[in-house]
Amino acid sequence: MTQVLQFPKLGWEFNLNRVAFNIAGIDVYWYGITFALAFVVGLIYFIRRAERVGIHSDDALDAALWAVVGGVIGARAYFVIFQWEALYKDNPWKIFAFREGGLAIYGGVIGAILLGYIVTRIKKIPLLPLLDIGLPALLMGQAIGRWGNFFNMEAFGTNTNLPWGMTSKTIAAYLQRPDVIAQLEKLGQTVDPNMPVHPTFFYEFVWNLIGFLILAYVFTPRRKYDGEIALGYLAWYGLGRMFIEGLRTDSLVTEMPWGMIRVSQYLGGILFVGGTVALVYLHFVLKKKEYPLYVTTDKSKQRIEFKKSQMQNKQDKHNKRTASTVRNTTDAVGTALLVDNINDKIILTEDTDTDDNADDSSDCDNDCDCGGDCDCDSDCDCGSDD
C-alpha cells in the first residue's frame, strides 16, 4: 500500500510503497533490495582490497560468505533475546518469521566475527587483518542498508522543529500504539504523533558513510598494526549509535537495576569507550617498538603465491578440458563430414556405372543397320540378298 512521507518545512513529499514488485505472487520489498545492494557493494570492496592487508581474495571470499551466515544468525538471535517476553515467549515459531523483520546490527557483528574467526582458524589465516578490511566494508553496507528504513518509514526519532523533520500516517499510527507510549514513558519521553520527528535513519546513513571514508581511505593506508582499523570501527560506530539511539522511538530496551535502558545506546557507549582507550594505549605502546603488519610477512606472501598458483592450476586444467572437448567435437564433426563425402562418392560412382552400361547397349543395337537381330558378342546376323 502506497503512503505519503512528508517533510513539511522542506515542502517534500514521497509516495512510498514497501513492496517494490511482485514475482509469482511473492512480494519483493525495498528493504530486501537495499539489504542485497549493501551486501554486494560491501563484498566488492572487501574482495578488491583484501590483498592490501595480506589476504588473498579467495580466502577473503570464503570468510565473507561464512561471516554473512553468522551475521544473519547473530542479528536474529540478538533481537529475539531482547524481545523474548514481548514477542516470542508465547509464539516461539515466530523466531523463524524473518519476513516480519527483527534483525539487530550489533548481534550481526558479533555473529559475523565469531563465525569468521572459526573460518580463519580452519584456513590458518589471521583474523585481525580481515577485520581491518571487513569492518569498513560493513560500515558502508550499514550506510546503504539504512535506506531500507526510509521505504519502511521506520527507525525515526522523537519530535523535532528542525527543517528536515518528517511525518506520515504510518509514523503517527506507530506513535499512538499503547505499548509504544508506555515504553517511551518509561524512558522519560513524550512524543506528539502529529508533529514531525527526527529522520534518525538518515543521521546514521551520513555518520556511517563518513566513517567508512575516513577508515578506508585515511587510516587504512596509514595503519600501524593489525586490528587498528577494527578498533576504529568500534569507536566510531559506537559513538554515533550512542547519540543517535537516544533519539529513536523504536529502540530495544531492557530493565536494569537502575531503570530502563536502550540496549544499543548502552552497548554503543561501551564500544566507544573501549575502542578509544585501546587505540590510545596501543598508539603509545607500539610507538616504542616496531610491529610488523601481516601483509609484510613472508607467511602472507607465501600464502598469496600459493593461492595464486593453486588457482592458476585450476584454470589450466579447465582450459585443457575445454580444449580437449573442442578437439573431440571437431574430430567428430570432421569424421561425420568425411563419411558423408565418401557416401556421396559411392552414390555418384554407382550412377556413373549405370549410365555407361546403358551407352554400351545402345552402341550394340546400332551396329546392325539391316534390322536383324544383333548380339554384342557376335556379328550381325543379317540375311543375304538372292
Q: β-strands 12-16, 3-7: how paired?
A: antiparallel
Answer for the pair 110, 74: CB distance below 8 angstroms, yes or no.
yes
Q: Is 96 helix (H, G, I), strand (E, B) or coil?
A: helix
* pLDDT of 263 over the 60 cut: yes
* pLDDT of 195 over the 50 cut: yes
pLDDT at 383: 46
Q: pLDDT band at residue 135, thresholds of 50, 70 and 90?
A: very high
Query: Taking residues 224-238, what's their average pLDDT?
Result: 96
Burial class (CB in 10 A: 0-12, 13-18, 19+), 58: middle
Q: pLDDT band at residue 320, thresholds of 50, 70 and 90?
A: confident
**Residue for grid cell 504510518:** 170
Report pTM: 0.79
**Residue for grid cell 566475527:** 113
Query: Taking residues 231-238, what's their average pLDDT?
Result: 97
Taking only the tens place, the pLDDT of each residue in 70-107 is: 998 998 888 888 778 777 877 788 777 766 667 788 88
Considering only residues 325 and 191, tell me which one the structure prediction assigns the higher pLDDT: 191
Answer for the pair 233, 138: CB distance below 8 angstroms, yes or no.
yes
What is the gyration radius of the CA atoms in the chain, in angstroms? 39
* pLDDT of 210 over the 80 cut: yes
**Residue for grid cell 559411392:** 346
The string of DSSP letters for 115-166 reads: HHHHHHHHHT--HHHHHHHHHHHHHHHHHHHTHHHHHHT-S-BSB--STT-B
- With CA atoms as reference, report the closest residue to 191 among 154, 159, 156, 160: 159
Considering only residues 220 and 254, tell me which one the structure prediction assigns the higher pLDDT: 220
Dihedral (CA of 283, 284, 290, 291) sign: negative
Rounded Cα distance between 185 and 249, Å, is: 11
Q: pLDDT band at residue 211, thresholds of 50, 70 and 90?
A: very high
Query: Taking residues 219-227, what's their average pLDDT?
Result: 94
Rounded Cα distance between 68 and 303, Å, is: 24
pLDDT at 386: 42
pLDDT at 344: 59
Dihedral (CA of 315, 320, 321, 323) sign: positive
Lowest mean pLDDT among 94-98, 261-265, 316-320: 94-98
* pLDDT of 296 over the 90 cut: yes
Rounded Cα distance between 134 and 57, Å, is: 12
What cell was used for 189?
Answer: 519521553
Percent with pLDDT over 90 in the chain: 57
Residues contacting 207, CB < 8 A, separation 6+ = 240, 244
* pLDDT of 293 over the 80 cut: yes
Query: Taking residues 361-366, what's their average pLDDT?
Result: 49
Considering only residues 95 and 47, tell me which one the structure prediction assigns the higher pLDDT: 47
What is the residue-averaged pLDDT of the chain?
Answer: 85
Q: pLDDT band at residue 313, thresholds of 50, 70 and 90?
A: confident
pLDDT at 290: 78
